[in-house]
Amino acid sequence: MSIVVVGSVALDSVETPAGSVEAALGGSAVYFATAASFFQTVVRLVGVVGDDFDQVHVDFLRDRGVDLTGLERVAGGKTFHWKGHYLQDLNVAQTLATELNVFGDFQPKLPETYRDSDYLFLANIHPTLQLQVLRQMHAPRLKVCDTMNLWIETTRQELLQTIREIDVLILNDGEARQLTGESNLIRAAHAILALGPSRVVVKKGEHGAFTLTQDSFFAAPAYPLEQIVDPTGAGDTFAGGFMGYIVSAQDLSEQSFRKAILYGTVLASFNVQDFSLNRQRHLTYPEIEERFEKLAESMRI
């Protein structure tokens, strides 16, 4: 089974209380694809990079089995660069600089081999790009979307159009409040269902995540960690674990989505224990299963 993901491929400069990295591998599509690649899933990535995108990054994704046919390389261009820091509150990133670079003119063109995929994930990028990719797919069985505060503020109408056409919206608590104007999260989640999706997943950082449909509610805690090194990419990694499980299970039941929330939580918990995707470089599937079991036990009555 395969899933198409479109999103950013980036070089991130990040500072946290635990240290810093310069121009490290990042981007919503990269975090997503890497997390999803731990499941029996073919991940087909759509994105764009410049000349400065090191071959070691390409090799890393290829070694994880990610299909890079849809990764465009712009000669003479520079890769998208995000610079940010986290202060004492690791739940909130402070953006210091966003250089779109090659992302500024990106017009995603899906390789023919991508268009029949059954699953689609629109990672956090401009909603018009998300829609362009969605329109090039033949008939995906499940369309899932993420977004961020920037697009809610600056491209609200385009974002609402994308949201109308997808099945599941994944976003964080602040974004859910901002998108709907509801401070109560349960009410915000219901308001999102009224925008089109049949399911919403709300990520709450250290407070875990919940998923809601018209007739179901499920909540899971975050995996308990005593130290967070770098929260960058945690949300995209959550989405990658979530979708990786769904695609490999080929099961869209409520129970399957509940397990997916746990897998997303587990993948995100590994991600935040090191900078960039460094923890994922030596992560194994048995380690994922071990944390899944521990997390499931911590919810058992």
| Tokens describing residue 63 | 């070694």
Name the residue type at position 38. Answer: F
Chosen residue from 224, 281, 289, 290 binding a second copy by CB under 8 A: 224
| Tokens describing residue 134 | 């969605």
Beta bridge partners of 80: 10
What is the pattern of x (binds a second copy, CB under 8 A) and - over residues 28-57? ------------------------------
18 binds a second copy (CB under 8 A): no
Q: Which stretch binds a second copy (CB under 8 A): 93-101, 164-172, 239-247, 257-265?
A: 257-265
Q: Which stretch binds a second copy (CB under 8 A): 93-101, 109-117, 243-251, 293-301?
A: 293-301
Q: Which stretch binds a second copy (CB under 8 A): 84-92, 97-105, 113-121, 235-243?
A: 84-92
CB 189, min distance to a second copy, A? 9
296 binds a second copy (CB under 8 A): yes
CB 49, min distance to a second copy, A? 35
206 binds a second copy (CB under 8 A): yes
Round to whole Å and give the CA distance between 64 and 35: 10
Q: Which residues bind a second copy (CB under 8 A)?
A: 88-90, 183-187, 190, 204, 206-208, 210, 212, 217-221, 224-228, 255, 258-259, 262, 296, 298-301
